[in-house]
Each structure stands twice: as structure tokens, then as C-alpha cells.
Structure 1
Amino acid sequence: MVVCQFIVAIIGTVLPKDPAAVKAMIAFICIYISFFASTWGPGAWVVIGEIFPLQIRSRGVALSTASNWLWNCIIAVITPYMVDSDKGNLGAKVFYIWGTLCACCFIYSYFLIPETKGLTLEQVDRMFEETTPRNSAKWVPHSTYAAEMGMTEKPVEKHVEHTSDHEIV
């Protein structure tokens, strides 16, 4: 995604009026959208649903959703001013800003988003108590929530009873 943003910025800066360059920019914007729509876009909703502790999960998801809507609104409002020729006059150079922000998101996610694959919500809470997001991929749960609550069956011991004629198992 970062690469697509910077390619659009470079092409738009070097060849702003070339029809082939404009087609290439449109193609890379579409590639960016497809990558975003299949990774970071829906992935953010999964992450916010898992990373908050159970006690504050509903409030955390609500605040994250409100923040998402707020920033989407801000971006939608300021972008026309950034690219308009009588205001910011950035044109395609705005993609340098978007590419840099995209790179910051990559760094943020690499260092601060934990790996929660295959864990229950309770195990994610326990993981945060015991490790850091950077080391979360190596963390292994010690037990399951059901075992901690005493909801699992105890192993059945095999008892063999001997009688004179046959054995009863």
C-alpha cells in the first residue's frame, strides 16, 4: 500500500499531464484500494474487537468507532483544500502525505498490534498481562477459560474389577 501511494505521488509530480501517466496513477490507486479493502480496512475492526479487556470492551470499541468516523470526516473535509489549486495546491503530491501516513501505520502495526490468532478473548486478556505485543506471536496459553472455570470434564480413571469368571471393565 505504501508503495502504491508513493508511485502515484512520483508519477503525478513528474508527469502530471501525460495521459498514460494518469492511467497508471488510476491503476495504482485501484491496487491500493484493493489492498486496503482486504487488509487494513476490515482488519482494524477485528483488532479493536479483540484488544480491549472484557470489562471495557464495549466502551473501547465504541470510542474506536467514533475515532474512526471522526478521522474519516476530517480527511474528507481537508483533502479538497489540500489539492485545490487556489488553496494547498498539492495535487498529486498529497500522495506523499498519504504514503508517509501509511508507512507510519505499518510501523505502528508491526510494533504495537499483538498477534491474537487462535486465541479466545479471555486468552488475549491473559496474553496482555504476561507479554508485550512484539512478543505476542510466541506466547502460548497456559490453560483454557473452560478449564479455569471448572467446566471441563475430569479424566475418567479406568477401574478394573476382578471376579472369578470374568473381568468387568
Structure 2
Amino acid sequence: MFISHFIIAVLVGLFSDNWPAHKTQGWVSVAFLFLYMVSFGASWGPVPWAMPAEIFPSSLRAKGVALSTCSNWLNNFIIGLITPPMVQNTGFGAYVFFAVFCLLSLVWTYFFVPETNGRTLEQMDHVFKDVSSEAEEERRARIEREIMQSERTGRF
């Protein structure tokens, strides 16, 4: 995605003053914009929908997912509002801006986001160092022991 934005920025910077004379470069820019959109849809796009359900503990999951969904929609709305005037007023600068943020998000994800593939929600608590589920597990085990003990003694 970074590379797509970077190439678009270079092409817009070099040829935007006369697109009719540089149709091939214009279509290459469009192709890289489509490549960015496909890449985003297959990688970053679904993250705000999947990751919040994994990182919030069970007791806060519904509220956390609702809040992250609101944040996602609000941020999409803001990007939709600022992008057209940003492209119009800064030219290739808008693509440089988005390229830099794509690169920063890659670095941040590589170094700070733990791998969640193949883990259960209970295991996610350990990944994100949430100890509240340990107390819930201890309580569940205690209740199970009490039930088993009452079944053995015949007292329910």
C-alpha cells in the first residue's frame, strides 16, 4: 500500500500539470490506486471489525466493539471529507501523506501488535496480559468443585 501511494505521488508530481499528454502515466496512477484499494480491502480494511472482538475481555467485549465500530465509522467519515480537498490543494502531497501513514502502520503492527491467529478468546487474555479472566476461571473451578462435592454427598 505504501508503494502504491508512493508511485502515485511520483506520477502526480511529475505529470499532473498535463495529464492529456501523459495518458499512460495517468492510467498507471489509476491502476495503482485500484491496487491500493484491493490491498487495503484484503489487509487493513477488516482489522477494525475483527481485532476489537479479540482484544477486549468478555465483560467489556460488547461495549469495546461498539466503541471501536463508532470510531471506525467516524474516522472513515473524516477521511472521506478531507481527502478530496487535500488532493486538490496539495497535489502529490496527499499521496505522500497517506504513503507515510501506511509505512508507519506497517512498522507499528510489526513491532507492537501480537499475533492472534489460531488462538482462542481465552488465550487472547494472556496475549494482552489481562488477568481478569484468571479470577473468572478460578471462580468457575471453585463452583465446579462445590457442585461435584455436593453430588458425591447427595446434598444439592
Instruction: Name the TM-score, length of structure 2 as normaliser.
Output: 0.76
Per the TM alignment, residue 116 of structure 1 is displaced from its structure 2 partner at its CA by 1.1
Equivalent residue runs for 1:77-96 within 5 Å: 77-84=81-88, 89-96=89-96
Per the TM alignment, residue 103 of structure 1 is displaced from its structure 2 partner at its CA by 1.1
Residue segments in structure 2 that go unaligned for 5+ positions in a row: 131-136, 145-156
Per the TM alignment, residue 81 of structure 1 is displaced from its structure 2 partner at its CA by 2.0
Higher RCO (CA < 8 A, seq sep 6+): 2
Q: Does 1:19 align with 2:23?
A: yes
CA distance in 2, matches of 1:77, 1:128: 34
CA distance in 2, matches of 1:112, 1:63: 21
Q: Tell me which residue corresponds to 1:103.
A: 103
Which structure shows the higher helix fraction? 2
Per the TM alignment, residue 129 of structure 1 is displaced from its structure 2 partner at its CA by 2.0
Residue segments in structure 1 that go unaligned for 5+ positions in a row: 131-144, 151-169
Instruction: Name the TM-score, length of structure 1 as normaliser.
Output: 0.70
Partner of 1:55: helix, strand, or coil?
coil
Q: Tell me which residue corresponds to 1:3.
A: 3
User: Post-superposition, which runs of at least 4 consecutive aligned residues in structure 1 deviate over 6 A?
Assistant: none
Counterpart contact for 1:2–1:99, Cα < 8 Å? yes
Q: Tell me which residue corresponds to 1:66.
A: 70
Aligned length: 130
Counterpart contact for 1:5–1:96, Cα < 8 Å? yes
Deviation string for 1:23-55 (max 9, x for gaps)?
A: 000010111111111111113322121111222
Q: What is the root-mean-square deviation of aligned Cα atoms in Å?
A: 1.8
CA distance in 2, matches of 1:73, 1:58: 23
Match of 1:55 among 29, 53, 59: 59
Asked which structure has the greater CA Rg, the reply is 1
